[in-house]
Each structure stands twice: as structure tokens, then as C-alpha cells.
Amino acid sequence: MTDNDVARPAAAGARPEPRTAIQAIDRTVALLDVVAGAGSHGIALRDLAEQVGLPASTARTLLASLVAHGLVAQHVSSRHYLLGSRFFELNRRFVLQTDLSAAAAPVLRRLWERTQETVHLAVFHGYRRVDIAVIVSPQLLTIDPTTARFVDASATPPYRTAAGKVLFAGLSRPERLTMLRSAPWRDDTPPDEGDLMDAMDDVARRGFATNLEEEAPGVCGVAAPVRDHTGRTIAAICVGYPSVRHTDAHAASLRDDVVDAAAELSLMLGADPGEASA
């Protein structure tokens, strides 16, 4: 037995882990905790084994299985261990299962405090754009989608609202066309399909969309996409405001704030930093 095969006591100050009847799981969880706390540079096998209190050979065997399952990755040059990409998918599912609106709440609150306008988080539910979280502006004159009755949400085409444009643009062209041709939307002036597809491609490239009284008189808005670790658009963060407050400067300021908030939430959901801010 070599030096590396001798179990060492866990590093001083390490958080004690609960012990169960299945030792392999206890050790695996302990390894994952240390890898997760190591940061973007990862951690070497020797340091990892020492912190957990395992022989290096045992740690290496467990880590090999974690790497195979995508829960841990190993840097090509340094050979340090980092969290694997599968954690992002698990995190995305966890967030969706435990309520996306709850996960987004701190981000939405900060956006509301900065802008003092109505903030909402929207998703697609079938053919409809649905607001799953709303914080109404504290100002006297405001937009309140929770009480507005000027539109039938099920019949409003998504390309008439800022959040709807972002969600619609997040679909592939075939998905958009299928939805466009089968959804029970009402539009007195339907756009040309080709022009609409091009406009949605532009929204996807810019990373935001605006609405200047397109859905209803007096209502303006700006929205940006929330993406998961695959780069897929899963929601839209939007700020709505009365048209009487619309100026180029105010619109630009709101746009920047919304894009930043959407990028922050995207990072929380495991999006690549480049995708999150795209």
C-alpha cells in the first residue's frame, strides 16, 4: 500500500457530513461538495482526497464514475476536477420544479426597484403568453397586467407584445410557423409570414424586443430572454410602462436594465455567460 492509499483525516474545519448505511454515497456526496466549493479552477486529486479524508485511489475511483455520468469534469491540462455540465441540467429541472417565479423573485425585485415600472416574468403556455410573476409599478400612472381587461390573452398574437416577441423569437422557424398557422389568435392586420419570421430573427439576434402601443393604446414595454444551460429561451423578463413616459432615453435605460436582469437570471439557470448576455 502506497502513501496515496492511506486514508487521511478530513481537513480541519471541514463541514461534518452525515453518515448513512451506504458509505459509497456518503463519500461521493463529500467529494461533490468539495469540488463544488473549489471554484472555476477546480481542485487537484491529492487536495480533494485530503479534504474529504479518503485515500487518493478511492477518491480517483469514485471521481471516475462521476466523470462518466457528467456530474464531474476533469480539466484537460491541469487534470483538476470541476463540476460537470449535468449539474446545470439538474439545476434547471430543480428550478422549474420548485417554481421558476420563486427563483426569479430577487432578480425581478431588483429590476423593479431600479426602474420603478411594472415588471413581469412571462412564459409560453400552449399558444398563450402567460405572466407567472408580476410586480406592479409604485407610480400613480402605471400598467397593471393583473387587472387589465383590454385584451383577450388567449387571442393576442405574441408578436404584438414585447415579452411575446421574445418568447416567439426563441422558437425555431418551423415551430413559429406551425404555431402561427394553428393558433387561435385574432389579428386584424396579420403580417406577412416571411416578414414576421425575419423580424423574429432580428429579435433573437438583438437579445431584446420592444412594444410601442402595438397590443393596446397607451401601453409600452421592453423584454429580454431568459435562457437555460442549452441556450434555449424558457421565459421573458419584461418591463411595462405607460406611453406618456416613453422617451428614447427612458426606453434605452429600461432596455439595458431588462437585458441585465435577464442575463442574471439566465446565469442562475446555468446558461453560458456568452449566451446569457447575447
Per-residue pLDDT of 100-145, as tens digits, reads 888 899 999 999 999 999 999 999 888 888 899 999 999 998 887 7
Residue 197 has what pLDDT?
96
Residues 255 and 141 in one domain: yes
- More confident position, 94 or 183: 183
Which CATH number do you get for residue 50? 1.10.10.10
Sequence-distant (6+) residues with CB within 8 A of 68 are none
Residues 229 and 181 in one domain: yes
Q: Which domain holds residue 52?
A: 23-92
Residue 276 lies in a domain: no
- On the question of pLDDT at 277 being above 80, the answer is no
- On the question of pLDDT at 8 being above 70, the answer is no
Residues 120 and 251 in one domain: yes
Residue 147 has what pLDDT?
63
> How many percent of the chain have pLDDT more than 70?
87
**Cell reading at 65:** 464514475
- On the question of pLDDT at 13 being above 50, the answer is no
Order of strands, sheet of 209-212, starting from the edge strand that comes earlier in the sequence? 128-135, 118-125, 233-242, 219-227, 209-212
Residues 223 and 242 in one domain: yes
Nearest to 235 by CA among 87, 109, 131, 94: 131
The Cα–Cα gap between 236 and 152 comes to 20
Residue 4 lies in a domain: no
Residue 146 has what pLDDT?
67
The Cα–Cα gap between 253 and 269 comes to 25
Residues 140 and 252 in one domain: yes
Nearest to 266 by CA among 136, 166, 134: 166
pLDDT digits (tens, 9 = 90+) for 191-213: 999 999 999 999 999 999 999 99
Rounded average pLDDT over 219-235: 93
Residues 102 and 140 in one domain: yes
Most confident of 77-91, 120-134, 236-250: 236-250
- Cβ burial of 194 (10 Å; 0-12, 13-18, 19+) is exposed
Residues 133 and 262 in one domain: yes
Residue 42 lies in a domain: yes
Residue 233 β-bridge partners: 227
- What is the average pLDDT value for the chain, to the nearest integer? 87
DSSP secondary structure code for residue 84 in this structure = -
